[in-house]
Chains A and B, each alone.
Chain A
Amino acid sequence: MNRYLLVLLLLIALAVLPGTVPAPGIRVGSKQDTETAILGEMLTQLIRATGEKSTRLAVGGTTVVFDALKRGEVDLYPEYTGTLVKEVFAGDPTASQENLASLLAAQGIGISQPLGFNNSYALAVRRETAERLQLSRISDLSAHPDLRLGFSNEFVDRDDGWKNLRKAYSLPQENVSGMEHDVSYRQLEVGDIDVMDAYTTDAQLAELDLVLLEDDREYFPRYDAVVLFRTDLEDRYPGLIKHLLKLESAVSETEIVQLNALVASREASELQAASDFLRDKFSIETHVEDRSVAAIVWDRTLEHCDLVRRSLIPAIFCAVPLGVLAAKFPRLGQLILGAVSVVQTIPALALLVLLIAPVAYLNLNTLGAGSMTAVLALFLYSLLPIVRNTATGLSTISPEYDESATALGLSRLFKLFHIELPLASPSILAGVKTAAVLNVGFATLGALVGARGYGQPILTGIRLNDTALIMQGAVPAACLAILLQFLFEYSERWLVPAGLRPLSVGGDDNGSRS
């Protein structure tokens, strides 16, 4: 029993050990795309130039980062006016580019003047196609019903996307396929599609020499890049906002396209691109720390382990009792197993977004390093294997042991701790092992809420189509999973009662029954 007590204390200590300190200083948000990452990095470096501390949080999705701004978990972030109208205030029919400032002010949020470029949606065709069919405006498309269209999945569904575009221009094309945005470029390049949707600041437009069709009926709204900030930022850091608003009208369309191209071609990191821009434009020297891959991987490892330990250990402590309940009360067991199974079917991003509200309600940090949203999601994902293996382990104990224990007059509690749980221990430990390995994999999704870890290089790598960067996250994650597997196999030898362990070859198995 002593060794179990030791393990329990060790686990508790490991779970409550203070972890990564939440992001210090002023928090700049960004989404998971290159352009807002560069803009976010500019803001972060501008703040640092004043001597204040600042951290950038890359999180997935407009709503996530906008809500974080409202709650004060993010102090400022770059956004586009069209997205605010069409997505953030989608439910408000009175919302327009003109009254955005007053709508935001009502929520305690300030908005800058446009930064100088409009990153709108546009339709792009190959130069050869444009010249052959004499296409220069979107309305020219109506004369060519056979053109093949390939749009990003988002564009097919969005309010400001294909559905309404088609109505606005009465376009006849039927051949429309949805695909990943980066894939569209490749399909267009090789001629599998003729027309695609593009962001006007995409680096590939110049690279592939594509022609943008003029929006002659002014269907697309303007997507002027702006900075959103909490109005209380001025009280906390007087003068800071004025300093940041240097960026107003400072970034031209040509400039942002160049910056995007630099990062997309991997000639510069987002940090470096932002730093170079600030130096050239404002003569502000910012220091971009040049860190070795090993140092970066080490940081990611710490962040990742932090997510795993803070979710897995509490999951063990909850799941084992739940498994016991499930085994002892089969009706309740169905309910418990059903509930933890349902959790398993919720897609990770959906679960993360669902959990943000309750985590925020509890006043815990939802985003960034040590995000409780990520921890809670991982906790929920880890329950099923442990609950199920505990319940199965207990309910498959041979009835003769159960009856022997009962006939000896042992109490239920004594029986549970001294007979049943030890007998079920191989199954329970196997469940914990499965949960741990799954947890290491799932923890990469923590990056969607800015919890970093191995998921961060993976997400960035996917965005930049950079296999080396993906490997920087995927390989250590796999190693960590294997390491945990070994650790558990070793601890099994120590934790499973000797009488239940497989016999070693040449062991002292004299006088066996057979």
Chain B
Amino acid sequence: MIELKGVTKRFGTHLAVDNISFACPQGETQVLIGTSGCGKSTMLRMMVGLETPDEGQLLFEGQPLSESNLSRVRQRIGYMIQEGGLFPHLSVRENVSVVPRFLGWQQSATDSRIDELRQLAQLPTSLLDRYPRQLSGGQSQRVSLMRALMLDPDVLLLDEPLGDLDPMIRAELQQDLRTIFRELGKTVVLVTHDLAEAGYLADRVTLLRHGQIVQQGDFSELIENPIDDFATQFVQAQRPVLA
């Protein structure tokens, strides 16, 4: 579905992504994991065209990403970031329907789609007319997810979507996300630094360090057979949580 071929990205002298090739098969949930600054977010941002690679190529369904197809590709991708990125001047309803409005949907079509998604994301109707600052962190992320799913995209890209939430709400949302991913059969790429979250959500895990892939495969494989010292350290650092 989405493919990176020999992609390199530098910010000044810092090498964020170093000649990475990576593929994300349809219907699977891929988790990118690693310490901060390992390049995982940059990879995700390149997939939605927020950064352009210095070298290498990005493919969407086999087609290279370019200025001409970018906006069409973006409409087939749902993108969600840590604090939701909800527009503060728009109500929940307006935030969720910003793309339908851009595309000129009928109001009735927008309304019924909002209602479907509201049920899927388990958001109370009473919140639809609130403004983002009147929402809790968990509520914001549910709204953000609704907005990402509005056009029923084929791909969901999530950048630390639960990073800022307290543990109880986080666990609840992890559960809901897993259900939604399975139910909708989307291709998902999720970035996190939390090994437990990766284990819970991922079909496949990719461990990154200094812009390079350290290990890639099943979650259990990473836990049981860390490929090198770094992978071992990374896994052990979070072991107590897993136990």
Contacts of A401 in B (CB 8 A): 85, 87-88
Q: Does A497 contact B (CB under 8 A)?
A: yes
Contacts of A410 in B (CB 8 A): 98-99, 102
Q: Does A414 contact B (CB under 8 A)?
A: yes
CB–CB B135/A408 < 8 A: no
Contacts of A499 in B (CB 8 A): 87-91, 131-133
A471 to chain B, nearest CB (A): 44
Contacts of B88 in A (CB 8 A): 401, 423, 499-500
CB–CB B87/A423 < 8 A: yes
Contacts of B99 in A (CB 8 A): 408-410
> Among B29-37, B71-79, B186-194, B199-207, which stretch is in contact with chain A?
B71-79
Task: Kindly state the separation between the CA atoms of A408 and B86 in the bound complex, as whole angstroms.
Answer: 11
Q: A409-B71, A409-B74 given as contacts; is B134 within 8 A of A400 (CB)?
A: no
**Nearest-CB residue, chain B, relative to A426:** B89
A4 to chain B, nearest CB (A): 13
CB–CB A411/B133 < 8 A: no
CB–CB A408/B89 < 8 A: no
CB–CB B75/A409 < 8 A: yes
Contacts of B140 in A (CB 8 A): 513
Contacts of B90 in A (CB 8 A): 497, 499
> Among A65-73, A155-163, A213-221, A503-511, which stretch is in contact with chain B?
A503-511
8 A Cβ contacts from B77-104 to A: 77, 79, 81, 83, 85-91, 98-99, 101-102
CB–CB B50/A403 < 8 A: yes
A396 to chain B, nearest CB (A): 14
Q: Does A350 contact B (CB under 8 A)?
A: no
Contacts of B85 in A (CB 8 A): 400-401, 403-404
CB–CB B89/A511 < 8 A: no
CB–CB B91/A408 < 8 A: no
Q: A401-B85, A499-B89 given as contacts; is B74 within 8 A of A407 (CB)?
A: yes
13 contacts between A and B (CB under 8 A): A400-B85, A401-B88, A403-B50, A404-B86, A408-B99, A409-B72, A409-B102, A410-B98, A418-B101, A499-B87, A499-B88, A503-B133, A513-B140
Contacts of A423 in B (CB 8 A): 87-89
Per-residue interface assignment for chain B, residues 131 to 168, with 1 indicating a CB less than 8 Å from any chain A CB and 0 otherwise: 11111110110000001000000000000000000000
**Nearest-CB residue, chain B, relative to A510:** B134
**Nearest-CB residue, chain B, relative to A425:** B89
Contacts of B71 in A (CB 8 A): 409, 411
Task: Kindly state the separation between the CA atoms of A406 and B70 in the bound complex, as whole angstroms.
Answer: 10
CB–CB A414/B87 < 8 A: no
Task: Kindly state the separation between the CA atoms of A185 and B75 in the bound complex, as whole angstroms.
Answer: 80
Q: Does A294 contact B (CB under 8 A)?
A: no
Closest 3 CB pairs of A and B: A409-B74, A404-B85, A497-B89
- Contacts A404-B87, A511-B136 known; 7 new A-B pairs at CB < 8 A: A400-B81, A407-B50, A407-B74, A410-B99, A498-B131, A499-B89, A511-B135
Task: Kindly state the separation between the CA atoms of A500 and B89 in the bound complex, as whole angstroms.
Answer: 5
Contacts of A509 in B (CB 8 A): 133-134
Task: Kindly state the separation between the CA atoms of A404 and B89 in the bound complex, as whole angstroms.
Answer: 14
CB–CB B134/A508 < 8 A: yes
CB–CB A411/B102 < 8 A: yes
A404 to chain B, nearest CB (A): 3
B40 to chain A, nearest CB (A): 16
Task: Kindly state the separation between the CA atoms of A508 and B135 in the bound complex, as whole angstroms.
Answer: 11
Q: Does A512 contact B (CB under 8 A)?
A: yes
Q: Which of B79, B87, B139 lies at the interface centre, i.e. has the most chain A CB atoms within 10 A of its CB?
A: B87
Contact size class for A? 20 to 34
Per-residue interface assignment for chain A, residues 411 to 432, with 1 indicating a CB less than 8 Å from any chain B CB and 0 otherwise: 1001000110011010000000
CB–CB A512/B102 < 8 A: no
Q: Give residues in A with beta carbon < 8 Å to B.
A: 400-401, 403-411, 414, 418-419, 422-423, 425, 497-500, 503, 508-513
Chain B: interface residue total (CB-CB under 8 A): 33
Contacts of A422 in B (CB 8 A): 89
Which residue of the partner chain, among A403, A406, A500, A512, contacts B136 with CB atoms under 8 Å?
Answer: A512
Q: A404-B87, A499-B90, A500-B89 given as contacts; is B133 within 8 A of A511 (CB)?
A: no
CB–CB B136/A419 < 8 A: no
B185 to chain A, nearest CB (A): 22
Task: Kindly state the separation between the CA atoms of A154 and B48 in the bound complex, as whole angstroms.
Answer: 70
Q: A497-B89, A513-B137 given as contacts; is B50 within 8 A of A408 (CB)?
A: no
Per-residue interface assignment for chain B, residues 48 to 71, with 1 indicating a CB less than 8 Å from any chain A CB and 0 otherwise: 111000000000000000000011
B167 to chain A, nearest CB (A): 16
Task: Kindly state the separation between the CA atoms of A497 and B72 in the bound complex, as whole angstroms.
Answer: 30
CB–CB B134/A512 < 8 A: yes
Contacts of A418 in B (CB 8 A): 98, 101-102
**Nearest-CB residue, chain B, relative to A403:** B50
Per-residue interface assignment for chain B, residues 112 to 143, with 1 indicating a CB less than 8 Å from any chain A CB and 0 otherwise: 00000000000000000001111111011000
A429 to chain B, nearest CB (A): 13
CB–CB A404/B81 < 8 A: yes
CB–CB B81/A403 < 8 A: yes
Task: Kindly state the separation between the CA atoms of A209 and B79 in the bound complex, as whole angstroms.
Answer: 89
Contacts of B132 in A (CB 8 A): 499
B161 to chain A, nearest CB (A): 13
Task: Kindly state the separation between the CA atoms of A406 and B102 in the bound complex, as whole angstroms.
Answer: 12
B191 to chain A, nearest CB (A): 14
Contacts of B102 in A (CB 8 A): 408-411, 414, 418
Contacts of A498 in B (CB 8 A): 89, 91, 131
**Nearest-CB residue, chain B, relative to A507:** B134
Q: Which of A418, A419, A498 lies at the interface centre, i.e. has the most chain B CB atoms within 10 A of its CB?
A: A418
Contacts of B136 in A (CB 8 A): 511-513
A169 to chain B, nearest CB (A): 75
B41 to chain A, nearest CB (A): 11
**Nearest-CB residue, chain A, relative to B89:** A497
A495 to chain B, nearest CB (A): 11
Task: Kindly state the separation between the CA atoms of A500 and B139 in the bound complex, as whole angstroms.
Answer: 19
